[in-house]
Amino acid sequence: MTFPIFNLFRRLNFSQEILHNSSSNKVSPLLPMECIQQIIEYLLQEKQGLYSSLLINRYWCKIVIPYLWKRPFELCSSKNRLKLFRTYLLCFDQEELDSLSIRMLDALYIFNIFPKKRNPLFDYFIFLQKVSSIEIEDIILPIYNKLAINKTSKISLEYRNEIPKFEKIIFHHIFKYSINLNQFNLDHWMKGEVVPIDEGNNNHLVYPGLYGINKFKIKNIGVMVGGKSELFEFISRFCMNMTCIEISLHTLDYLKENIIKIINNLIKSQKHLYEFSISHVSQINVIDPIMESLYSYQRKYLTTLSFTYVKFTEYSLNILVKLERLNDLSLIFCANVTKNILNQNLRLERLRILCVQSFHHMLLEILNVYGESLRVLDLNIHCKLFQKKIVALCPNIIELNINSSLI
């Protein structure tokens, strides 16, 4: 059921004016904070009216702004990306602006992308809770059109080469000021570098925006070379409170010695790592040093592990079943899973296995050991005969998901 949002805001605004004109000379909020928050949550679900609520009064504005700007990329349509970029541009500090050329700054002024008088009401980066690299690149892309940049124009070549700097500036600002940031997804490699301006090797710097990150995903960024390795090292040095790490690199990347070292440093540097996911480790023995790090530094905390297209060894499986706190395990088209994965002392509550038909026999052995403790089971098997065996082996299961389309 919906209600007339605009009329509601008019009534709220009118009531606030009455309160303001009362003899107390004080503006009292019409509704308790909890009620306003529920209204805002409704508006978020309906995806309408939230921006209009900013205009009720200052009290509402201060409450609504954090909601609008905690995940602005999801609320911003493609036609408004340039407006979003302009707003963020107002928040840049002088150091960040100085990294741009004078010609680029002049162009931003001329094309009304960046007003000379900067007076933002808030540092909107502060409210950011989740960011992904592909979202950052999306809000920068409209600048090419705004500045009439094309590949054939020699005049616009300087602009074309400099625009990727905005990615670096935005990340620099996020790392320094986005104190509410809790999730960082590196899901697309940017044209420019990401490690902050002239500061990549300074061990004495502080980045408050990185302290709160508890979830880090890296996926589909191509071959791990150059600035990508530097970013990994940067993250492992300054992000120490991550509880969930998801890594999906190119298969051949894991063969590079420095990459395994960086992943291990990332695991080692976290205080309490509860969830870890890794994909496409298909070369023999590559998973071993990663499993060693998980056991050496995070065995007291790890509860959830997910492996996708991973080739195990007997050694790595032996380490896996020693993680006594593990209760949620995903094995998605993994290879070399043998009886070494069976351990009566391990009490799994959730198991997710996607496999080929030749693995069905091994799956029954796994369920024979872990079935009694399982509460949730996800599979990709549609054989009715097999499903009956599953029910018999998992007497305490409360949720069974069987879907061949699961990946």
Own/partner long-range contacts of 190-193 (Cβ < 8 Å, ≥24 apart): 190/133, 190/136, 190/137, 190/164, 191/137, 191/164, 191/167, 192/164, 192/165, 192/166, 192/167, 192/168, 193/168, 193/227, 193/230
pLDDT range class, residue 221, cuts 50, 70, 90: low
DSSP 209-245: HHHT--EEEEES--S--THHHHHHHHHHHH----SEE
Q: At what angle do helices 33-46 and 58-70 cross, to 10 degrees?
A: 50
- Angstrom distance (rounded) from CA 239 to CA 20: 46
Q: Worst-scoring range by mean pLDDT, 56-60, 332-336, 365-369?
A: 56-60
Domain spans, the chain? 1-69, 71-194+206-213, 216-228+235-324, 347-407
pLDDT range class, residue 11, cuts 50, 70, 90: very low
Does an H or E element contain 248, and which?
Answer: strand 244-248
Choose between 397 and 255: higher pLDDT.
397
Per-residue pLDDT tens over the stretch 342-379: 998 999 999 999 998 888 889 999 999 999 999 999 99
Choose between 86 and 277: higher pLDDT.
277
Give residues with Cβ within 8 angstroms of 136, minimum separation 6.
167, 170, 171, 190
Within 13 Å and on the Cβ side, how many CA atoms surround 194? 25
Total length of the chain: 407
The dihedral region occupied by 222, where left means phi > 0, alpha psi between -120 and 50, and beta the remainder, is left
pLDDT confidence of residue 368:
94
Within 13 Å and on the Cβ side, how many CA atoms surround 270? 31
Q: Coil, helix or strand for 52? A: helix
Residue 139 corresponds to which amino acid?
I
Beta bridge partners of 244: 215, 275
pLDDT confidence of residue 342:
94
Give residues with Cβ within 8 angstroms of 338, minimum separation 6.
312, 314, 317, 362
- Does the pLDDT value for residue 150 go beyond 80? no
Q: Worst-scoring range by mean pLDDT, 4-13, 107-116, 325-334, 337-346?
A: 4-13
Per-residue pLDDT tens over the stretch 27-57: 545 667 777 777 777 777 665 667 777 777 7
Sheet holding 130-132, edge to edge: 130-132, 183-186, 215-219, 244-248, 275-279, 304-308, 328-332, 350-354, 376-379, 399-402
Q: What is the pTM of this model?
A: 0.82
pLDDT range class, residue 9, cuts 50, 70, 90: very low
Does an H or E element contain 399, and which?
Answer: strand 399-402
- Does the pLDDT value for residue 109 go beyond 90? no
Residues 366-376, buried b or exposed e (16+ Cβ, 10 A)? bbebbbebbeb
